[in-house]
Amino acid sequence: MKIAMISFTGNGWKLEKSLAQELKKEGHQVIQAVKCKGLESEKEAVKCSAGEWTAEHFRTQDVLIFIGAVQIAVRLIASYIESKTSDPAVLVLDEKGQYCIPILSGHIGGANEMAEIIAGMAGAVPVITTATDINQKWAVDVFARKNHLYIEDMQRAKQISAKILEEKQVVIAVEGGRDSIEGAVPEEVRIVPETCEDPDIYIGIYEHGLSSHVLKLIPQRITAGIGCKRGTSAEQIDLLVDKVLEESHINKKSICRIASIDLKKDEKGLLTFCSRYRIEPEFYPAEILKEVEGEFSASTFVKEITGVDNVCERSAVCAGGMLRIRKQAENGVTAAFAWDNWRVKFE
């Protein structure tokens, strides 16, 4: 996880250094900064304003930690807040490390969970205020984040939480039924067959004719393997991907990886397509793709150009999963899709 920390006093800086050391031991990438008179000689001292530092890191880090007053943090992040689904987790610690307060993206961003971790390291009290947490209820947004599920409608997610807080049970239909579930289902939840026509929540990659009030949680499990001619536009790629997924009744939000051959790593249309969906592309050399096991749609022409007989299918399988939708071609674009069986876990 990418974490950026900033402190504003000498005591805060000492606490920050201690926490950064512990976080790095846990494998996190940590950026340290201090904005305080008398500490200008520190290599982590910020030369720009705290506002500029916040602007630089708000969209590039998973977690921001401010060691200082809550009011300072609130003012610094206020103009950058956009959405629960995209904002980073933001936490505040006082300079003595007595309290750790998540102030943004408590559930989806993981701020509440991170507050518990940071509090444990600092010997602080985590101050959690979200209703489902303080009432020890199942939280649909936390469940979705931990299981890599895309929440299609945040307003409906809020309605689910409200129903649970009213001591009502929510009905969940899961693609694959109970074979797709691990762990103990909480008492707030009732699992029903996938064919149920009117659940509160549906979990799956496929599109169904569900009622408008149903909250869709979409497993982000699919790899799209893409091949294309030089100069192909993002729109051409989009058109084929949309066509194939619509014909297969698969929700496009289920795509989590996009892969191709390394000859395409500078292909503007492909890079634009990936950027549009905020997915970092994965590129593989022909030597690696040739070693991928399986039966693929071979093309002598493609092999002459790229050094491997198939790009899209081999790329999809190489990046992750079993080939489920074979090579489809249109307007200079080829696409194939791979994914493994998935399960959701209740804790």
Which bin fits 58, alpha (ψ -120 to 50), beta or left (φ > 0)?
alpha
The two structure tokens encoding residue 154 = 């945040």
Residues 183 and 233 in one domain: no
Q: What CATH number does residue 111 fall under?
A: 3.40.50.11220
Does some domain include residue 36? yes
Q: What pLDDT shows up at residue 232?
A: 96
- Which positions of the chain have pLDDT values less than 70? none
Question: Could you give the CA distance from residue 338 to residue 78 in angstroms, rounded to a whole number?
Answer: 40
Domain shared by 229 and 293, yes or no: yes
Chosen domain end from 166, 201, 219: 219
Q: How many domains does the chain have?
A: 3
C-alpha 231/C-alpha 253 separation (Å) is 26
Tell me, yes or no, whether 51 and 156 share the same domain. Answer: no
In a domain? residue 176: yes
User: Within this chain, do residues 6 and 124 fall inside the same structural domain, yes or no?
Assistant: yes
Model pLDDT, residue 179: 85
- The domain that holds 181 is classified in CATH as 3.40.1390.40
Domain boundary (105, 129, 153) is at 129
DSSP track, 90-159? EEEE-TTS-EEEEEE-SSSS-HHHHHHHHHHHHTPEE----HHHHTT---HHHHHHHTTEEES-HHHHHH
Whether residue 125 is found in the same domain as residue 166:
no
Residues 97 and 189 in one domain: no
With tokens 């999963």, the residue in question is 321
Query: Do residues 194 and 234 share a domain?
Result: no
> What is the predicted pLDDT for the residue at 157?
92
Q: Burial level of 159, CB count in 10 A (0-12/13-18/19+)? A: middle
Q: Which pLDDT score is estimated for 197?
A: 76
**Same-domain pairing of 175 and 253:** no
What distance in Å separates the CA atoms of residue 336 and residue 324, rounded to the nearest whole number?
8
Domain of 274: which CATH number? 3.30.420.180
CA 295 vs. chain centroid, Å, equals: 31
Examine the fold and report which residue of 129, 152, 183 is the final residue of a domain before the chain moves on. 129
Instruction: Provide the token pair at 230.
Output: 């030089």
The answer to whether residue 328 sits within a structural domain is yes
| 344 belongs to a structural domain | no
| Per-residue confidence (pLDDT) for residue 140, from 0 to 100 | 93
Q: Do both 72 and 189 map to the same domain? A: no
Its pTM stands at: 0.80
- Statement to judge: residues 153 and 113 lie in one domain: no
In this predicted structure, what is the pLDDT of residue 133? 86
pLDDT at 208: 81
Is residue 121 domain-shared with residue 155, that is, in the same domain?
no
Class of residue 179 by CB neighbours under 10 A (exposed 0-12, middle 13-18, buried 19+): exposed
pLDDT per residue as tens digits for the range 133-175: 888 999 999 999 999 999 999 999 999 999 999 999 999 999 9
In the block, tokens 């009732």 appear at: 190
With the C-alpha atoms ordered 114, 116, 119, 120, is the resulting torsion angle positive or negative? negative
- The answer to whether residue 134 is domain-embedded is no
pLDDT at residue 244, as a whole number: 97
The residue range of the domain holding 235 is 222-339
Task: Say if CB 145 and CB 127 are below 8 A apart.
Answer: no
